[in-house]
Amino acid sequence: MVQWEEQIYFYLLGIIPVVILLYFAVLLWRKRVQSRFASKELLARLTPTKSVFKGALKLIVLCLAFATLTLAIVNPKIGTKLETVKREGVDVVFALDVSKSMLAEDIAPNRLEKSKQLVTQIVNSLSGDRVGIIGYAGSAFPQLPITTDFSAAKMFLSSMNTDMVSSQGTAIGEAIAMAQTFYNDEEQTNRVMFIVSDGEDHEGQSMEIAKQAADNGIRIFTIGVGTVEGGWIPIKRNGELIAYKRDQSGERVVTKRSEDILKDIADATNGSYIDGNNTQDVLDEVTALLNGMDKSTFEAKQFADFKDQFQWFLAVAILLLILDVLFLDRRTNWLIGLNLFNEKEQ
């Protein structure tokens, strides 16, 4: 397993395209200036050893050196030992609504991004618990099975979007049914599920399935995002708004947060409904709920003894910088005879 100690320095990689643009800008400027001084044929005779390939090669080597130097600054660490540890916690499954109605911007930046922020903050507040993630729209799909790897959970969570499910709708019941297969520890006394949604339910069987989940010892807490007044569903292309979703009569579709179904599901499973529009309020309530539950002890494997690996990237960066200095702009004598790059004698 690899850990990145200082991930913020990955932004330094943005300098590489700037360097490439500057190189071609200087190349273009030099070509214009030289064209005023002499013709192309005359310049070739005046600089017979000039190599076009060497300039490009030096640029590539310099960019690679900067990339490896950036990786050295970030300092990747590799876990060298896998050990088994005992942890105490609760099995928590998150079901995230990824239907098109979650694109409504009645809450900034939109309902889906707000939901992902909420789940991320909850995961950050967990300690010895295990988490799983389900996505659903017209159907449900497993995004991440029960795990103690919170980094993986946040990574999979960040990649969720409304294009993950081709069939549209809001199959809350199917998500609840799938969640029942996630709890693989029969001795786990507390099984918790959080449904993060705007509450639209196009399936109609969610209450029956929720009662089955309650019989299996699963408590469901629902988190509603969006406003009661609702909002339009934007249609965007490359981040630019091009239209709003319309119904058959040509009117803009208004999607509203439906609290009733979310409250009914929570009540049927001895859970509760949480207003998801305030992140801190949600975090405080969820933390209080989980802290008040009995914790089960389970074994988990995790990497230990993470060792720094920056020295390897630093060594490669230094080597590349030395090579960049040694590479001259003129053609290499022994390569002239080989003519690998079609650099003929003038």
Is the pLDDT reported for residue 263 higher than 50? yes
The number of angstroms, rounded, from the C-alpha of 217 to the middle of its chain's C-alpha atoms is 32
For the stretch 221-248, pLDDT in tens is 999 999 989 999 999 888 888 999 998 8
Domains in the chain: boundaries: 2-75+309-338, 85-301
pLDDT at position 334:
46
290 close to 126: Cβ distance less than 8 angstroms? yes
Burial class (CB in 10 A: 0-12, 13-18, 19+), 73: middle
Is the pLDDT reported for residue 346 higher than 50? no
pLDDT at position 252:
92
What long-range pairs does 233-237 form, CB within 8 A, spacing at least 24? Answer: 233/100, 233/101, 233/103, 233/104, 234/103, 234/104, 234/105
Res. 18 pLDDT band, cuts 50 70 90: very high
Is the pLDDT reported for residue 121 higher than 90? yes
Is the pLDDT reported for residue 210 higher than 80? yes
Torsion region of 149: left, alpha or beta (phi above 0 gives left; psi -120 to 50 gives alpha): beta
Q: What are the tokens at 132?
A: 């799983």
Specify the pTM: 0.65
Least Cα distance to 141 among 123, 107, 114, 166 occurs for 166
141 close to 164: Cβ distance less than 8 angstroms? yes
Report how far apart, in Å, the C-alpha atoms of 215 and of each of 180, 211, 212, 269 are.
11, 6, 5, 8
Query: Which has the higher per-residue pLDDT, 285 or 57?
Result: 285
Res. 323 pLDDT band, cuts 50 70 90: confident
For the stretch 150-172, pLDDT in tens is 888 999 999 999 988 877 777 89
Report how far apart, in Å, the C-alpha atoms of 182 and of each of 112, 149, 205, 339 are.
23, 15, 20, 64
pLDDT at position 20:
92
Percent of the chain with pLDDT over 70: 80
128 contacts: CB under 8 Å, gap ≥ 6: 87, 88, 89, 295
Query: Which has the higher per-residue pLDDT, 296 or 125?
Result: 125
DSSP letter for 251, please: P
Please tell me the least confidently modeled range out of 52-56, 62-66, 69-73, 191-195: 52-56
Within a 10 A sphere around the Cβ of 147, how many other Cβ atoms? 15
Is the pLDDT reported for residue 302 higher than 60? no
The string of DSSP letters for 5-23 reads TTGGGGGGGGHHHHHHHHH
pLDDT at position 232:
93
User: Which three-class secondary structure state does DSSP give residue 298?
Assistant: strand
Res. 179 pLDDT band, cuts 50 70 90: very high
Q: For the chain, where are the E strands, in sequence order?
A: 2-4, 76-89, 91-97, 130-136, 140-147, 191-197, 218-224, 231-232, 234-237, 240-244, 254-255, 273-275, 296-308
C-alpha angle 14-157-258 in degrees, rounded to nearest 5: 125
Q: What are the tokens at 265?
A: 């599901």
The string of DSSP letters for 122-160 reads HHHH-SS-EEEEEEESSSEEEEEEEES-HHHHHHHHHT-
DSSP letter for 246, please: B
Res. 109 pLDDT band, cuts 50 70 90: very high
C-alpha angle 105-110-113 in degrees, rounded to nearest 5: 175
The class that CATH gives domain 85-301 is: alpha beta
Is the pLDDT reported for residue 106 higher than 90? yes
